[in-house]
């Protein structure tokens, strides 16, 4: 019987190495079942899972809902525009309504940071058994994306058997709009937990110097860091320079919808300097893997020639791995002793 210490999954900053390994071992098992053609297993039969998305989503929402269906859970989908929010109901009351209906897990995406945390605190105060799973909150955290990125990289470097230790001392280059990226923040917690050294590459407006201290101990709102020693974070302003040393690259979407002020002189000048192209990759002598959480802006942060033709472009693997990763998270939350 698997045991799991977290009632809610809101961030990766409180994950221990055992937590990551529990997720990845289950992911391997679910992935084998999917690859063997098993469409459904009865693991969460009788469970009710509710997805509450206040922001657009293709990958996260659909793969969570598919994961829940593959585990035979009942799935409810909340749509803000046709809900009683339009009659003045609060978000907390909405969440409590789903808890009162017997929802076991609320999967929540919101444009404001820490909304899933606030909801989890209220539900706990009401002694609700319902778990909250953060599907992306503001600029804060996107734990399931961080986990699927981590898993995809580990599988690339250890395809036969899953060995998270392969990331130790690897140089992972993260390019682009870090300041607006909850994915990057989750990547930083996850990758440094296994000793990867991160190079953040982009202009100062998108990567302020303080990001070098991002994983300083203890993490925000925690008394301790469950990881005793983390990899480092450095910043480079030059893609031509930093790409030479990378063992893997994660490209981030330029989040124009979150840019409240003019952070770039022009999109063209950004692309001229930081768009990942085959020419940039050829400055590195290794066959490095390329990841992107999606959705992609072709020709702005990543060239179509990489997305469509580069053999080690892992974007589709990330999407495929998202389903068993999310099956593992839903299953583990069901094992938390309430």
Contacting residue, 293, 313, 325, 333, with ligand CP by CB under 6 A: 293
CA distances from residue 217 to 20, 167, 224, 261 in whole angstroms, order as listed: 19, 20, 7, 31
Decide: is 303 part of the binding site for ligand CP (CB under 6 A): no
Binding piece for ligand CP, criterion CB under 6 A, among 98-106, 119-127, 200-208, 293-301: 293-301
320 binds ligand CP (CB under 6 A): no
Stretch that binds ligand CP, among 58-66, 93-101, 281-289, 329-337 (CB under 6 A): 58-66
94 is an interface residue for ligand CP by CB under 6 A: no
Report if residue 80 touches ligand CP, rule: CB under 6 A.
no
Among 138, 203, 294, 299, the residue binding ligand CP under the rule CB under 6 A is 294
Q: Does 59 bind ligand CP (CB under 6 A)?
A: yes
Does residue 58 touch ligand CP according to CB under 6 A? Answer: yes
Does residue 120 contact residue 10 with C-beta atoms inside 8 Å? yes
With contacts defined by CB under 6 A, how many residues of the chain interact with ligand CP? 9
Give the residue with the Cβ less far from ligand CP, 56 or 283: 56
DSSP 88: T
Taking CA atoms, 105 is separated from 22, 171, 199, in Å, by 19, 36, 35
Contact 200, 207 (CB under 8 A): yes
- Rank residues 5 and 294 by Cβ distance to ligand CP and give the closer one: 294
CA 145 to centroid of chain Cα atoms: 2
Is residue 256 a contact point for ligand CP (CB under 6 A)? no
Q: Where are the alpha helices (DSSP H) in 126-219?
A: 143-157, 182-193
Given the rule CB under 6 A, which of 40-48, 161-169, 173-181, 290-298 is the region that contacts ligand CP? 290-298
> Length of the chain in residues, anyone?
338
**CB of 120 or CB of 145, closer to ligand CP:** 145
Buried b (16+ CB within 10 A) or exposed e, 206-226: bbeeebeebbeeebeeeeebb
By DSSP bridging, strand 74-78 and strand 48-53 are parallel
In whole angstroms, the minimum distance from the beta carbon of 322 to ligand CP comes to 8
Closest approach of ligand CP to the CB of residue 137, in Å:
12
Other beta carbons within 10 Å of 286: 12
> Toward ligand CP, which CB reaches closer, 181 or 242?
181
Pick from 136, 195, 219, 289 the residue near ligand CP by CB under 6 A: 136
Site membership for ligand CP, residue 60 (CB under 6 A): yes
Residues from 180 through 209 that contact ligand CP (CB under 6 A)? none
Q: Does 218 bind ligand CP (CB under 6 A)?
A: no
d(CA 330, CA 45) in angstroms, rounded, equals: 12
Q: CA Rg, the chain, in Å?
A: 20
Q: Take residue 335 and report the two structure tokens written for it.
A: 């094992």
Beta carbons of 175 and 249 less than 8 angstroms apart:
yes
CB of residue 59 to ligand CP, shortest distance in Å: 4
From CA 107, how far away is CA 60, in angstroms rounded?
10
To ligand CP, the closest distance from the beta carbon of 159 in angstroms equals 23
Contacting residue, 96, 145, 187, 271, with ligand CP by CB under 6 A: 145
Residue ranges in contact with ligand CP by CB under 6 A? 57-60, 136, 145, 293-295
């Amino acid at each position: 019987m698997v045991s799991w210490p977290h009632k809610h999954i809101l961030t990766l900053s409180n994950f221990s190495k055992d937590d990551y390994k529990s997720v990845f071992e289950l992911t391997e098992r679910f992935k084998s079942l999917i690859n063997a053609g098993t469409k459904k297993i009865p693991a969460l039969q009788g469970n009710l899972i509710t997805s509450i998305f206040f922001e657009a989503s293709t990958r996260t929402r659909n793969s969570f809902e598919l994961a829940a269906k593959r585990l035979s859970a009942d799935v409810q989908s909340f749509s803000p525009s046709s809900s009683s929010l339009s009659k003045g109901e609060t978000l907390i009351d909405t969440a409590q309504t789903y808890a009162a209906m017997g929802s076991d897990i609320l999967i929540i995406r919101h444009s404001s940071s820490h909304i899933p945390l606030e909801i989890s605190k209220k539900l706990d105060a009401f002694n609700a058994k319902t778990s909250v799973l953060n599907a992306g909150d503001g600029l804060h955290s996107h734990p399931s994306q961080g986990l699927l990125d981590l898993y995809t990289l580990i599988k690339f470097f250890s395809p036969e058997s899953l060995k998270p230790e392969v990331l130790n001392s690897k140089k992972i280059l993260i390019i682009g709009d870090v300041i607006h990226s909850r994915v990057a923040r989750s990547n930083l917690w996850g990758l440094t937990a296994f000793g990867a050294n991160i190079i953040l590459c982009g202009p100062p407006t998108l990567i302020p110097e303080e990001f070098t201290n991002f994983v300083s101990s203890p993490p925000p709102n925690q008394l301790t860091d469950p990881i005793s020693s983390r990899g480092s974070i450095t910043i480079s302003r030059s893609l031509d320079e930093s790409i030479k040393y990378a063992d893997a690259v994660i490209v981030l979407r330029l989040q124009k919808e979150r840019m409240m002020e003019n952070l770039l002189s022009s999109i063209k000048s950004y692309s001229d300097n930081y768009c990942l192209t085959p020419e940039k990759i050829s400055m590195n002598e290794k066959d490095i893997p390329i990841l992107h959480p999606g959705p992609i802006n072709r020709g702005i942060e990543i060239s179509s020639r990489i997305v469509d033709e580069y053999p080690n472009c892992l974007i589709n693997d990330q999407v495929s791995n998202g389903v068993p990763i999310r099956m593992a998270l839903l299953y583990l939350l069901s094992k938390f002793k309430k």
